[in-house]
Chains A and B, each alone.
Chain A
Amino acid sequence: MHILVCDGTGCRSSQSGLISEMFRDELLRKGLKNEVQVIRTGCFGFCEKGPIVKILPDNTFYTQVRPEDTAEIIDEHIIKGRKVTRLLYLDPDTQEYVSDSKHMGFYKKQLRVALRNCGLIDPENIDEAIARDAYQALGKVLSEYTPEQTIDIIKRSGLRGRGGAGFPTGLKWEITGKNPADRKYVVCNADEGDPGAFMDRSILEGDPHSVLEAMAICGYCIGASNGLIYVRAEYPLAVKRLKVAIEQAHQYGLLGEHIFGTDFSFDIKLRYGAGAFVCGEETALIHSMEGKRGEPTNKPPFPSQSGYLGKPTNVNNVETFANVPVIILKGAEWFSSIGTEKSKGTKVFALAGKINNVGLIEVPMGTTLREIIFEIGGGIKNGKKFKAIQTGGPSGGCLTEKHLDTPIDYESLTAAGSMMGSGGMIVLDEDDCMVSVAKYYLGFIVEESCGKCAPCRIGNKRLYEILERITKGKAVPEDLDKLRNLCNVIRDTALCGLGQTSPNPVLSTLNNFIEEYEEHVFEKKCRSGQCHDLLYYVIDEEECTGCGACKRVCPVNAISGEKKQPHIIDQKICIKCGSCMEKCQFDAINLKNEYKSTTVSV
């Protein structure tokens, strides 16, 4: 028998280390050392109910186990074979105890559709992909369906663009298909650029054939025989695996001339992007592929009318494509049965930040943020308090506690002031300063703005400068009004989707964390202590012996005080060099995020 004890950060902070020790001691005492093994495992993900203990082979899943429970588990379960019911998971819906984790809701929260083959097959071996149904959908479409029927399946499935904006994929194909032209293009947008996002990279690296197959299906539907994948040159492994996959598909005749013996021919070429964030915008992406400066142009005309080299072009993102073959094979109804009313299927998220299970997850649309953060993600690192979750990358926003039970879909995230984006999720805890978070994203935007339109080029720079003033304690009250007006004007006037959404990190933090902004501006205080310029060296009157060492070392004479009396630091003079704190032998000088109560400036 095996006793698995969760050794993830969350459970360990609830004494799971001690629990394994006690299991071992108890087994030793009972002479069961050789019969039963105690194993410390990685995080089970269900940190909310930690510490977790699992008994194999019967798969019994104990929750919230305390050190004092260990003896009972050994006596009852291991020796007598009776489950300790009070430690089992109580299903909140049925009010029944569940012993096998496989029957617990939490472990069904993730559903891998786009990631179905990632981590299962060798991406450089087409046979393994074929063993898992690759190219069957293409074969089925070519031999059984007309382009119109295929588009109808995609339309009925409810699949929407996974790149961020959520445009219905079938409709996009239909529009591009209907625009007459001698040549059309299928473009796969693999210019994943959000900080902390790597959904597309993982799909390309783990299951490139799903994307190639879907592009060919799209080509058949819209009447294109050329496909282009715009992939960042900074994704060398994805590039390599795509090359191998294209080569192997050609050898099998699954790409190239007369696929499956039909008149349909389709070829795919790679185009490398230099990693400009804006090239994720489809018009900018197309210009970049044409060898022009990667910057967006006004829509209309849409790429479906005039795209690559002026020809109708269908641009979809990697994850969108990865969903297509499964939809064809399992049917539109199957796909549309997953998700919410307007957002069907699953969504892949890259979970990062102050969360235990950093990683790539795929959940059905409609899953709540709470489920993602506390169940799948295993809760906040080091038992800290959840503060906000940033979704949608630089175009998204920060959502708070009050949004935790919002079911995630395109509409609800937008309504809450953020957006789906491509799927980055960064969890923030009580130690994060929301003004600094907004500044971080604005810094990214300032770096990555293409510079074409004035509101984005100059407006975001000015936004950044105002945020910098706020975090440095140099802001004046009018700066908050300026911030808001600038955000609104940029949103109203910027040229492309990226520019229009660029103030979202500021707007959403202004809306949800106005008190933090006000503290920075009015009280010159950063509650999380992240803004260095808003930290103060303060002498503790109780601890200060009045030795005068700090006073002597202070380079700007900011410290005053009589001998053997508590000294005071004048914050107006202090340059925060830290020399006094270093010099003090009585630990009387501390770095605090406010100083009012202890000091009076002269």
Chain B
Amino acid sequence: MTEIKTLADLKKKQEEVKSRIDLRNKAENPEARVQVKVAMATCGIAAGAKKVMEYFVEELEKRNIDAIVTQTGCMGYCFAEPTVEVILPGKEAMVFGYVDNVRADEIIERYIKHGELVDGIIPQNYDTIEHEER
């Protein structure tokens, strides 16, 4: 790993990793790459997020869907844990609540494969700094 010695280094690094994250979404496989983020804070893990994440990793591979499954922190919807955010290429992020293996299967089969919405969507109820800027 290279050390970051100046602010310019950091910005260069940011461009690098930003594009790498963007690549996931667009450049490499514009049609097929899907992002699945599982909220893996204590509240999520306590509600079973770990199992759900494992399920997504295994099943997406089994079903030959090119997707990236990552963990993330608490989204704040603790009443609906485990929560999973799915970003289909070119679409807005969708957050699903109360996700267990059954529902995960439904999300994969219906939403990820066919873009059909399934029950249990949580409307995002906050603004981020970026939105606020616009």
Contacts and interface: CB of A to CB of B under 8 A. Distances in A.
In the complex, A touching B (Cβ < 8 A):
yes
Give the most central of A41, A56, A108, A121: most B CB within 10 Å.
Answer: A41
Interface string A101-140: 1000011101111011111111111011011010110011
A2 interface: yes
B106 to A, nearest CB: 11
A260 B98 CA distance: 44
A120 B14 contact: no
B78 A359 contact: yes
Interface stretch (A248-256, A580-588, A594-602): A248-256
Give the most central of A37, A117, A122, A356: most B CB within 10 Å.
Answer: A122
A508 interface: no
A42 B120 CA distance: 5
Given A118-B75, A130-B13, A359-B77, A201 B41 contact: yes
B79 A356 contact: yes
B72 interface: yes
Nearest to A359: B78
Contacts of B42: 198, 201, 205, 235, 237-238
Interface string B67-103: 0001111111111100001000000000001100000
Contacts of B97: 42
B128 interface: yes
Nearest to B126: A110
Contact of B121 (A42, A133, A143): A42
Interface in B1-23: 1-7, 10-11, 13-14, 17-18, 20-21
A5 to B, nearest CB: 9
A326 interface: yes
Interface in A1-47: 2, 4, 7, 37, 39-45
Contacts of B43: 198, 202
A113 B45 CA distance: 24
B78 A360 contact: yes
Given A41-B123, A118-B73, A359-B79, A127 B20 contact: yes
Interface residues of B, number: 50
Interface stretch (B25-33, B58-66, B111-119): B111-119
Nearest to A140: B7
A402 interface: no
Contacts of B79: 43, 356-359
B74 A330 contact: no
B77 A120 contact: no
A142 B37 CA distance: 34
Contacts of A487: none
Contacts of B18: 131
Interface in A442-490: none
Interface in A195-247: 198, 201-203, 205-207, 235, 237-238
A276 interface: no
Contacts, number: 182
Given A4-B121, A116-B128, A360-B78, A139 B20 contact: no
A43 B119 CA distance: 11
A128 B3 contact: no
A361 interface: yes
Nearest to B18: A131
A494 interface: no
Give the most central of A135, A261, A360: most B CB within 10 Å.
Answer: A360
Interface in A354-386: 356-362, 376
Contacts of A45: 123, 125
B74 A41 contact: no
Contact of A136 (B14, B72, B75, B123): B14
Contact of B7 (A42, A43, A123, A260): A260
Nearest to A136: B10
B39 interface: yes
Given A112-B127, A131-B21, A198-B43, A41 B122 contact: yes
Contact of A39 (B4, B80, B117, B129): B117
Contacts of A124: 71
A109 to B, nearest CB: 8
Contacts of B13: 127, 130, 252
Contacts of A356: 79
A37 B115 CA distance: 11
Given A107-B125, A110-B126, A237-B45, A40 B120 contact: yes
Contacts of A111: 126-129, 132
B4 A254 contact: yes
Given A115-B74, A118-B73, A252-B1, 12 more contacts: A41-B123, A43-B122, A44-B123, A101-B123, A107-B125, A118-B76, A119-B76, A123-B73, A206-B74, A237-B40, A251-B3, A361-B76
Interface of A: 2, 4, 7, 37, 39-45, 54, 56, 101, 106-108, 110-113, 115-125, 127-128, 130-131, 133, 135-136, 139-140, 142-143, 198, 201-203, 205-207, 235, 237-238, 251-254, 260-261, 326, 330, 356-362, 376
